[in-house]
Amino acid sequence: MGSERRNFDRVLFGRGYTARIMAIDGTWERQCRIGDVSEIGAKLTIQGTVDGIDTREFFLVLSTIGSAHRRCERVWLNGDEIGVRFLRDHPTPRPARREWAQADHPVDPPAETHEPDKHD
C-alpha cells in the first residue's frame, strides 16, 4: 500500500462540494465533486466520462456566478477520480492609469497661465 505523500492539511467534504471543471480554452466542461482540498491541491470526482478530453490542465470553477476558480494541473487520474495541483493564474497586466484629460469626472482644470506679449 502506498504511503501518503501530502504534507499539507486537507479539508474533507463528507458529501463533496459541487463544482465543475472546464478546459482552459472553454471547449469542454464537466460537473464534479470536491472530495478534499488543501492549500496546494484537491481530489475531485468527475461526473461523466473524461475519455476524449485533455485533463492535463484546466480550471476548477467554484461558483456558478462570479469568477471563483483555480487553475489546475492533473497529478493523477484513477477512473472518475482525479488529483490536481493548483497553479497560479498568469497575472493579467493592469490597465495603464488614465491621463487626467481622459478622466470621467475631472476636477477643476489647472488655471491657464499666459505670458504677456513682449512688444518693445
pTM for the structure as a whole: 0.64
Tell me: pLDDT of 49 over 50: yes
Task: Tell the CATH superfamily of the 11-87 domain.
Answer: predicted glycosyltransferase like domains (2.40.10.220)
Q: Give residue limits of the domains in the chain.
A: 11-87
Tell me: pLDDT of 18 over 80: yes
> CA-based angle 111:114:120, to the nearest 5?
165
Q: In what helix (H) or strand (E) does residue 36 lie, and over which residues does it extend?
A: strand 29-37
* Dist CA 66 CA 86 (whole Å): 19
pLDDT of residue 2: 43
Q: Which residue has the higher pLDDT, 114 or 65?
A: 65
Q: CB of 29 within 8 A of CB of 23?
A: yes
